[in-house]
Structure 1
């Protein structure tokens, strides 16, 4: 007997506010860097990913996939199956000589698990701190996303109380500054100009890329390290100063002031925006349903 497909998080939840908001784009590099700091995951990305040769295409596909997990409705489970199929052949040996497989429960669960501590930390700067109820709701919704991705309940901690010891153990036992981590926070590696978006914009960026690239990669490093939970950044060995912390707080203040007043067509990514429109038409969310109201039910 076939089991029903897992259901993504509900409209109006915490993830419906976070995952499609443009501020989520600032959080993704921190989560990705924590993922590849695990030697098995880092080796898989190093050997099988096109993040060096097609960084913009790889990023676009990752963002769209993440949107599907939350806003995809009936198509979310199909996206989860597609990802598992994609990762079936990703295997090899890490830099310590240990065999790895992308779908081994330890590796696959860690890749998913990183999203929760990054959200929990980064919203303090870019949104507002989560209440205890919102934090618990976020974790419950993140477990639902894990089921969409095909992660078994036995492979992820079932509660927040169980999550933090698991998280600290992975940090202490496994994480390190892998070659991919170093690439993701480097400011001296080649990066081609963006090849997505309207043609006039692409041509403009290509013309001025030598001028744009240095501040862009410095900013990427800044938000990658700054929006990573401090205990993770310390274990990986990524430096962070008090001065940088003050700059991040000032940056967060500006983001918190500007983004909430943007119209929805600018604030939310396309797939999320369309899902929110449909949910609003069905009476499932209000026009300004946001993180401040999520979690009060």
Structure 2
């Protein structure tokens, strides 16, 4: 294959049965994502783009649904993963302006685009300790390799991301020290007093009930969102942003994690995994069974690593 042809080949998403397959499609990932998003927008350039171009204030549920769908495609989408990666780059081509420090920014500048992606790894690594179980060193390295694969799907060049864990942590801490701050978007995401419209998704009979109960439901939901957002953020990132976290809150988070670790694994697959993950897992099992020769042991479905 020529060099030019090799460049035309779409990057592939992480492999079935990998660490990301066990984390990002699990419903517990829904508790991790607010911390990752908040860490992203603690970067002034990312915050400026989100503040000016995103509809997270006016349509938080739609924005969240689209973001979750996109993330699932990166991991479970197969050939659709690269298509989604190209769509995201097109979407961000016009996102540019001046950030809170008076610097010009562009959403696709290598440093900014790489930071948005990079935040997922430390949040997954930290949150797994509470909601799943601590990753082994081998699992951490596999997770990082797979996260780099996702980065390639999104169009991030290898030269713009640390290629090993040993290189990642100095990069991460340097960015925390030099760039990260408590931006206006961070304040929005951890606030408990901001107006949030009721959900407009879900079964029709449930929507009128949610609208009627929303004034009662919103305050405790906002407090819970703040709690998991700050608690599941890596402590050094939390400190860099200036988010307070007490010993009492830490004990509450550990108790929550213990309950989640006990309840989620016993749920049926249709409740435990998000739709894209559930379909991808079923398709992979079918393919594995189809590849097994009659009367001979096949490779079987890969064991979920976390």
Per the shorter chain, which TM-score range?
Answer: over 0.9
Match of 1:122 in 2: 127
Name which of 199, 204, 229 aligns with 1:224. Answer: 229
Whole-Å separation in 1 of the counterparts to 2:305 and 2:33:
18
What is the correspondence of 1:34-113 to structure 2 with a 5 Å cutoff?
Answer: 34-113=39-118
1:290 offset after TM fit, Å?
Answer: 2.0
Structure 1 residue ranges, 4+ long, deviating more than 6 angstroms after superposition? none
Please say if 1:132 is aligned against 2:146: no
Whole-Å separation in 1 of the counterparts to 2:205 and 2:238:
38
Match of 1:237 in 2: 242
Whole-Å separation in 1 of the counterparts to 2:300 and 2:277:
15
Whole-Å separation in 2 of the counterparts to 1:244 and 1:200:
36
Match of 1:16 in 2: 21
Look up the SS of the partner of 1:172 in the other structure: helix
Task: Kindly report the root-mean-square deviation, in angstroms, between the aligned alpha carbons of the 2 structures.
Answer: 1.1
1:291 offset after TM fit, Å?
Answer: 2.5
Whole-Å separation in 2 of the counterparts to 1:183 and 1:120:
25
Q: Structure 1: where are the runs of 5+ without partners?
A: 293-297
Match of 1:291 in 2: 305
Match of 1:187 in 2: 192
Whole-Å separation in 1 of the counterparts to 2:253 and 2:284:
34
The alpha-carbon distance between structure 1 residues 8 and 221, as it changes in their structure 2 partners (threshold 3 A), is same
TM-score, normalised relative to structure 1:
0.97
- Per-residue CA distance 1:172-208 (angstroms, 9 max, x = gap): 0000000000000000000011111101111111110
Whole-Å separation in 2 of the counterparts to 1:95 and 1:281:
51
1:288 offset after TM fit, Å?
Answer: 8.4
